[in-house]
Amino acid sequence: MNDKCLGFEAGWFLFSAVGALAVMLGGLSFSAFAQQPGSNQYNTVFLPAHSAGDTIRENLESRWGAYALSSPDPSTGISVTGFVAARASLEEAKNAAITHCTERGGTDCAVPEGYVFRDTCAVATTGPGRGNFVQDSNLRRARRYGLRSCGKGCRVLWEACSLPSRGD
């Protein structure tokens, strides 16, 4: 019985020692290899920033866009639209969209709730008797979703991105 206990303890000690050695060698080889220029790991290891300034994003100003609709024409049922992008404020975007709608012949133009966007892209789609307004951070994705959700026979009426800028 003592032989079995000693054998178990000796085996466990050997297993533990080999495991610890493998961990140490693995850690040494990784840390010694990770920063070698030209190695695969060189470009995948994240290094700490050199100073606080390296991690601060540039201060960008928001940009707004809006989409205005007129009252439907009584004889055709069609609304005139107005749209703008890349405006400095929400009010400026709404006013410019209403002005654009009016200049195109719309009456009682207004920006419906949810038809404004900030620091993103927007797509307006239209089709037989329907239309929609979709926002997404990616213009291609917004266009795809807008056409899919509008349905068969729809087309893009207008698309734009109002992305943050330095205020220039």
Give, in order, the Cα–Cα distances in Å from 24 to each of 11, 21, 28, 39, 144.
20, 5, 6, 21, 52
Identify the band that residue 165 occupies on the pLDDT scale cut at 50, 70 and 90: confident
Distance between alpha carbon 71 and the CA centroid of its chain, in Å?
Answer: 34
| Whole-angstrom distance, CA of residue 134 vs CA of residue 117 | 10
The confidence score (pLDDT) of residue 101 equals 97
pLDDT in tens, 77-102: 889 999 999 999 999 999 999 999 99
Asked if residue 51 is part of any domain, the answer here is: no
Q: Give me the domain span that covers residue 134.
A: 64-162
29 lies in the same domain as 99: no
- Please tell me the pTM assigned to this model: 0.64
Q: How many independent structural domains does the chain possess?
A: 2
Asked if residue 23 is part of any domain, the answer here is: yes
Asked if residue 84 is part of any domain, the answer here is: yes
